[in-house]
Every structure is written in C-alpha cells, then in structure tokens.
Amino acid sequence: RKEVEQDPGPFNVPEGATVAFNCTYSNSASQSFFWYRQDCRKEPKLLMSVYSSGNEDGRFTAQLNRASQYISLLIRDSKLSDSATYLCVVNPFQGNTPLVFGKGTRLSVIA
Amino acid sequence: NAGVTQTPKFRVLKTGQSMTLLCAQDMNHEYMYWYRQDPGMGLRLIHYSVGEGTTAKGEVPDGYNVSRLKKQNFLLGLESAAPSQTSVYFCASSYRGDRDTQYFGPGTRLTVL
C-alpha cells in the first residue's frame, strides 16, 4: 500500500458545485496532515492544515478520520479559480523524515 | 524577500552531459529539499538537507548529487544526464520550527535528449 493515495481525477464540476476529495495514508503514527494546491505549471503551495477536530477556511473544509486513516477536502461553491491539482500531504513523524506528498487530484471547474 | 529561487528555469541537455541546478532561499530556513515531478508520478523527493553541511537521500537519489555548503543554497548535480532524468525539478525550504510548511521555488524544466 502506498504511503499516501489519492484519486487522480480529473474531477470536472460546474461553477457553484460542491466537490470533495479523499486521501488515505498508510502510516498510523502520522501526526500532521495538509492540503497543498498546485496550479498548472506552477509550484505547490500550502492550502491548509488538517486538524483532528476538522477545520474550515472560507469555502474550504478539511477533515481527518484517524480510525480509517483518511483525510478529506470539501470545496463549496466552486469557482473557476479553484481549478488546480490538490495534493494530500502527510508528516510521518519519523525523526527528520520529510513530508510525504500524494500524487494529487486534478480539479477543473467549468463555467 | 524573493523566497525560493531556482536557476536555470529551463535547460536542454544531451545524454552524458553534466549540469548543476541552483536553489537559493532568503528566509533563513534550515531545511531544504529537491524534488522531481513527472506526469502521473507526483512529487518525488531526491535529496534533502536539515542544515548547512548535511545532506540525506530521499526516495529517488540515484544519478544525483547534492551539496549544502551555505545555509541559503542547495545545489543539485547531474553528473551524466540520462533521458530518464527529463523532468520538472522543484526546490523547497522550510523552517525547523514549522517544517510542515514548505516553500517551493518556481521549478526548473529539464529535457535530456
């Protein structure tokens, strides 16, 4: 089982739609989780952290389910500018071991 | 602040040639990383450094070498380029106290013919 797995998509949704992405991770000792966003031909950037209690930032909601080892990202009222690849990222918490990135889920929001 | 910069932005090499990619950051970050990104493969860690003078292997280190002689710079070397090394290379850095937030450079697009 890969460390971090995501549905690659693409997810094609109309403007205004609600879309959700899931991500699973294999290391049960992992302690911190994130979503990064990568626009086409650009570098990844941190979108938001994922807390155990769930967290919201405007139209974006991230949730963590430790028992099932998955993370989700919900985008409400999709905008054209939300079109990007969303990377699920896990900190395995093994010494200085760096973050583990998923392959990403591509989202296209269509007018 | 410029953040993380990478030089060059584009490069075409012939098989067997060598080159060095330069990453520089002006945020005084301790940690620096080199990734490659290929279609369908996502970001894969090549090498990383947790401080000046230290380096460590990542997931795909073969065919690459790195050096971190100065805290602000992290160099990635290809001694004998191969077509399999055609990729987009991203450098990133993070602060030791918040290593979960990685700041990425704009990338270097390398083609090996």
Looking at the predicted structure, is the pLDDT value of residue B85 above 80?
Answer: yes
A17 contacts chain B (CB < 8 A): no
How far apart CA A110 and CA B79 sit, in angstroms, is: 45
Under DSSP, the state recorded for A64 is: E
Distance from CA of B75 to the nearest CA of A (A): 18
Most B CBs within 10 Å, among A3, A87, A90, A96, to test the B interface: A96
CB A86 within 8 A of CB A73: yes
**Span B24-80, pLDDT tens digits:** 999 999 999 999 999 888 899 999 999 999 999 999 999 999 999 999 999 999 999
Report the percentage of chain A scoring pLDDT > 70. Answer: 96
Q: Is B100 within 8 Å of A8 when comparing Cβ atoms?
A: no
Helix (H) or strand (E) segment spanning residue B45: strand B42-49
Question: Nearest-CA residue of chain A relative to B101?
Answer: A46
- Higher-pLDDT residue of A42, A31: A42
CA atoms A93, A98, A99, A104: torsion sign? negative
Q: Is A101 within 8 Å of B106 when comparing Cβ atoms?
A: no
How far apart CA B101 and CA B91 sit, in angstroms, is: 13
**Span A76-109, pLDDT tens digits:** 999 999 999 999 999 877 666 788 999 999 999 9
